[in-house]
Structure 1
């Protein structure tokens, strides 16, 4: 029996394996800042954070971990 893996986590895992930049899902980034998924989406737009678009999906994207780390430091 195979275990379920969230689609966003699969994309993140693939991206991190093939890129020099590390990324986070919207939910993970929101958890770091204490925001819900919806609140994090608004925060991303308001603060012009870099969105890593996911192919074949118009509403899904990943965020750069480096940007989140710099936000947490300040």
Structure 2
């Protein structure tokens, strides 16, 4: 039986496997900062964090883990 994997998680896993940069989804980054996904979207735009675009999707993106770690630390 196949288990369901969120599309954002699939994109993150593929990106992390092929890049030197580690990325997080909006939900993961938001949970580290105590924000919801929607609040995190506003936070990213307001603070100019780097958005890693996902091919074939204009509205989806991943965030650099290094930037989130700097904010948390």
Q: Fold match, TM over 0.5?
A: yes
Matched with 1:25 is 25
Matched with 1:34 is 34
Q: How many aligned residue pairs are there?
A: 73
Matched with 1:16 is 16
TM-superposed deviation, 1:22: 0.1
Structure 1 gap ranges (5+): none
Deviations 1:34-55, CA, capped at 9 Å, x for gaps: 0000000000000000000000
Matched with 2:48 is 48
Kindly report the root-mean-square deviation, in angstroms, between the aligned alpha carbons of the 2 structures: 0.4
TM-superposed deviation, 1:33: 0.3
TM-superposed deviation, 1:12: 0.2
Deviations 1:12-71, CA, capped at 9 Å, x for gaps: 000000000000000000000000000000000000000000000010000000000000
Structure 2 gap ranges (5+): none
TM-superposed deviation, 1:3: 0.7
CA distance in 1, matches of 2:35, 2:52: 20
Length-normalised TM-score, structure 1: 0.97
